[in-house]
Structure 1
C-alpha cells in the first residue's frame, strides 16, 4: 500500500508542474477538464490492473496497454516538470528577494507569473515523446526493418561464398494483437530468399498456448536449407505459476511440438552440418545461457561435441552475455554467433550506419547489431516482437540478413 501512496504522490507532484504549463497556454475550460479526465483514467486504469499484480499469474495485453498508456502520459509530463522546475529555480529566489525588499507593496504576490512563451516551448518539446510513444504503440511495433550485412571470412568454405542467412529473434507471440501485421512480417522474411532461417529464442512470453494461433502463420516460413531454432529464457515457462511440475513440463513439450509443426529444427545443446557441393559448415545451438540471474541451461561443450575444431562454425545462443562471458574465450573459435534477448529495450535513437543509443547499453555491452571481438562476430537482433511495453520507439522490429563471403587471404 505504501508504494502506491508514494506512486500517487509522485505523480501528483509531476502533475502540479505539468498542469501549470498546460493552463498557462490553454484557456478553454473544457480542455482543462479533458486534461484531468485523461490523467485520472490512465492512472486509474494502471492501478486497477497492477494493484496486487503478481508476475507469476501472467502478464496480459491489458497489463501491457495499461503500462504503455502510463508511459505515454508520464514521460511528456516529466519533460514539463524539468522545464517548469528549471523556471522556478529563478522564480523562487526572485520571490524571496521581493518579499524582503518590497514588503507590502507587492501585496503578497511575490511570484512572477509563469511565462507563456516558456510554457509553449515546454508543451512543444513534451509533444515529441508523446507523439513518438503513441506512434510506437500504434504502428512502431510492426514497423519491420530488414537489416543487411556482409561478413567476410578467410576460412569460409568456397561453396558457401555468397551464402545468405536470415535471423529473427524474440517473437513473443503472446504480445501480438494484429495477425495481419504478423503475416506481413513473415512475408517480408520469405521475400529475402535466404538459404537458411535461424530463430534465436523467446517464441512466447510464458505459455505454449500463446503460439498456437500463430502456428499456421509461421509455418509459411521457407528456406532451402531449412529452419533452425533455440530456446530463450521465456520459453521455459519459468515466469508464471503452474499447477504442478508435470504441467510445466507438458507446456515445454507442447512448445517444442508447435515449433516442429512450424518447421523449426530445435537445437537443444546440439549441432547440425549444412552441406553444399561437398563442403560443410557447422551450425550449433545452445539452450538459454544468460548472466545476471537468467537461466543457464546452455552447454557449449555438449552442443559442439559432434563437430570438429577446424569446422567453420555458426552458433545460435539467445543471450549475448553468453558470447561475452564464454563463447569468445572458447578455443573452438565460433566464427559467427546469432543472439537476441535485449530487444534494444524497444526504445532508443538510431540512425542506421551513423548512431545508435538505448538505455539498455548500460545493462548489455553488446545490445544491437554487429560486433567483433577476438576475430569472432556476433549479431544481436533487436527482436521481431515486443514485450511488456506494447510498442517500439526508435528501435524497430528487425529481420537480419547476413551474407557470408570468402575473403582473400593476405600474403
Structure 2
C-alpha cells in the first residue's frame, strides 16, 4: 500500500476509527469520552505510520527477522483498522436504536410531567436495567469485531483451499476426457504474500495431477520479489507437463508491466495477450500422455485487462479483445479462455466458449459483504456460473494485497474435463 491509495486509505480508516469511538461512547456513556477519542486517533496514526514504514523498507528487510517482525506488526495494524471497520456499521445501527429509545423515554417522561427519572435498581429475579443491557451490547461489539479482525488477518488469510470441479461436455474431444487444468489468480506477491505462497499453490495443483496451469493475472505487487518469483515459476513449471499460461491483470499495469513481462519471458510461462496458443492440433498431439481419435483442436486463449470507462465502452473493448484472441482459432476447436476481469464471462457465454477462467474480485474476501459487492460492482463474484454448455469461473484469489479473509479462503482451482 503506497502513494495516493495509502493516503486515501488512512484518511478513510482514521475517520471510521474516530467515529466508531464516538458512537461507542454514546452507547456506553463514558464520562471521559475525549480521552477515548484521542487514544483511538493516536493509535490509528501509529498503526498507519508502522504500515507505511514496512512498505518503504520492505525491499531491504524481506527474508530477515526484522522483516518478519515488521510484517506481523503490520498485520496487527491492519487488524486494528478492521476492528473499527467491522464495528462501525453495527455501532451506527446500535446508536440509532439507543437514540430512538432515549428520545421515546424522554417523551414519556414529559407526558407524565417527570423531568428526570433516576435509574431504579432491578428487583431480585427481574433481570437487568436497560442501561446495563446497553452497556453489555457496547462491550460485546468491539470484542466481537476484534476477534473477527484478528482471525481474518492472521488465520483466514493463510489457509489455502483447493476446490475441485468436474465439467461435462458432450462434444469434448476424446483425448481431453479426464484432462486436469489448474488455475491460480491474484497472487499479489508483496508485503503479505511471499513467493513461498506461490510455491504452495503450485505444489497443491501438482499434487492433484494437473497437466497445465492457468494464471489469470495480478501475479506480483512488489517488484523486488521478481527474482524469487521467477525462481519459483522456473522450478515449478517442470511439474506441469503441458506448461503454464498467463494473462495480464490490472496490477501488472499498476506495478510495472515491462519489468513483469521481462521476468516472465525468462521463464517457461506463456503470456497470452489477446492471443491464443494451439495446445493440441487434434488427437492429443502436443499434449503429454494424451491421445485419441477426435481431430478437433484444443486452444487456450487469453485477453488483456480493459481499462475502458463506461459500460458501453467497457463492453465494446471486451468484445474487441476476445475477437483478437480468437482470431484464427478454428470453429471446431475446444477453447479455454483466460481473463482477469470476471465480466469477460459474458463474452465467453456469448461466443459459447466451453470454459472462461477469471479472477480480480477476490470473492469479496469477507463473505458477508458478498451480496453488496455483487449488487454494486460485480455480476460474477466468485465460483461457477453456467449458461448452456459454457462455464465461467471466478477464482477467489490465491493471494491478496490486503490480508483479510472471513469465510472466503485463498484458492487454487482444479477443473477436470469429462466427455458426456
TM-score of the superposed pair, with normalisation by structure 2: 0.75
TM-superposed CA distance for 1:126, in Å, is: 4.8
TM-superposed CA distance for 1:386, in Å, is: 0.7
Q: How does 1:7-406 map to 2 (within 5 A)?
A: 12-19=18-25, 21=27, 39-45=40-46, 69-99=80-110, 101-103=112-114, 106=117, 115-205=131-221, 208-221=223-236, 222-237=239-254, 251-275=256-280, 276=284, 277=291, 279=295, 280-289=297-306, 292=309, 296=317, 299-324=321-346, 326-330=347-351, 333-349=352-368, 357-362=370-375, 363-387=377-401, 389-406=402-419
SS of residue matched to 2:337: strand
User: Residue 6 and residue 133 in structure 1: after superposition, are their counterparts in 2 closer, same or farther (change >3 A)?
Assistant: closer
Q: Find the aligned partners of 2:341 and 2:12 in 1 and give their Cα distance.
A: 35
User: Residue 81 and residue 309 in structure 1: after superposition, are their counterparts in 2 closer, same or farther (change >3 A)?
Assistant: same
TM-superposed CA distance for 1:124, in Å, is: 3.0
Q: Find the aligned partners of 2:219 and 2:277 in 1 and give their Cα distance.
A: 21
TM-superposed CA distance for 1:322, in Å, is: 2.1
Q: Find the aligned partners of 2:330 and 2:23 in 1 and give their Cα distance.
A: 65
TM-superposed CA distance for 1:155, in Å, is: 0.8
Do the aligned partners of 1:174 and 1:211 also contact (CA within 8 Å) in 2? no
TM-superposed CA distance for 1:181, in Å, is: 4.5
User: Residue 181 and residue 375 in structure 1: after superposition, are their counterparts in 2 closer, same or farther (change >3 A)?
Assistant: closer
Two-structure CA RMSD over aligned residues (Å): 3.9
Q: Find the aligned partners of 1:283 and 1:403 in 2 and give their Cα distance.
A: 15
User: Residue 101 and residue 383 in structure 1: after superposition, are their counterparts in 2 closer, same or farther (change >3 A)?
Assistant: same
User: Residue 155 and residue 177 in structure 1: after superposition, are their counterparts in 2 closer, same or farther (change >3 A)?
Assistant: closer
Q: Find the aligned partners of 1:228 and 1:6 in 2 and give their Cα distance.
A: 38
TM-superposed CA distance for 1:33, in Å, is: 11
TM-superposed CA distance for 1:306, in Å, is: 2.7
TM-superposed CA distance for 1:208, in Å, is: 4.1
Structure 2 unpaired stretches of 5+ = 1-6, 53-69, 121-127, 285-290
Do the aligned partners of 2:336 and 2:355 also contact (CA within 8 Å) in 1? yes
TM-superposed CA distance for 1:230, in Å, is: 0.7
TM-score of the superposed pair, with normalisation by structure 1: 0.76
TM-superposed CA distance for 1:260, in Å, is: 3.1
Q: Find the aligned partners of 2:231 and 2:133 in 1 and give their Cα distance.
A: 56
Structure 1 unpaired stretches of 5+ = 52-59, 241-250, 350-355
SS of residue matched to 2:327: coil
Which stretch has the larger CA shift, 396-405 or 88-97? 88-97
Do the aligned partners of 1:281 and 1:312 also contact (CA within 8 Å) in 2? yes
User: Residue 400 and residue 13 in structure 1: after superposition, are their counterparts in 2 closer, same or farther (change >3 A)?
Assistant: closer
Do the aligned partners of 1:320 and 1:339 also contact (CA within 8 Å) in 2? yes
Q: How many residues align?
A: 368
Do the aligned partners of 1:285 and 1:315 also contact (CA within 8 Å) in 2? yes
Q: Find the aligned partners of 2:143 and 2:13 in 1 and give their Cα distance.
A: 23
TM-superposed CA distance for 1:85, in Å, is: 3.0
Q: Deviations over 1:179-220 (max 9, x none)?
A: 554543332232222011000111123x64443333223433
User: Residue 378 and residue 186 in structure 1: after superposition, are their counterparts in 2 closer, same or farther (change >3 A)?
Assistant: same
Q: Deviations over 1:345-395 (max 9, x none)?
A: 21114xxxxxx94432121111111101243111111111112x3222221
Q: Find the aligned partners of 1:116 and 1:103 in 2 and give their Cα distance.
A: 22
User: Residue 64 and residue 234 in structure 1: after superposition, are their counterparts in 2 closer, same or farther (change >3 A)?
Assistant: farther
User: Residue 126 and residue 292 in structure 1: after superposition, are their counterparts in 2 closer, same or farther (change >3 A)?
Assistant: farther
Do the aligned partners of 1:282 and 1:314 also contact (CA within 8 Å) in 2? yes
Do the aligned partners of 1:200 and 1:340 also contact (CA within 8 Å) in 2? yes
Q: Find the aligned partners of 2:192 and 2:118 in 1 and give their Cα distance.
A: 60
User: Residue 300 and residue 98 in structure 1: after superposition, are their counterparts in 2 closer, same or farther (change >3 A)?
Assistant: same
SS of residue matched to 1:173: coil
Do the aligned partners of 1:347 and 1:358 also contact (CA within 8 Å) in 2? no
Q: Find the aligned partners of 1:378 and 1:105 in 2 and give their Cα distance.
A: 64
User: Residue 41 and residue 282 in structure 1: after superposition, are their counterparts in 2 closer, same or farther (change >3 A)?
Assistant: same
Do the aligned partners of 2:20 and 2:87 also contact (CA within 8 Å) in 1? no
Q: Find the aligned partners of 1:301 and 1:9 in 2 and give their Cα distance.
A: 46
SS of residue matched to 2:403: coil
User: Residue 42 and residue 264 in structure 1: after superposition, are their counterparts in 2 closer, same or farther (change >3 A)?
Assistant: farther
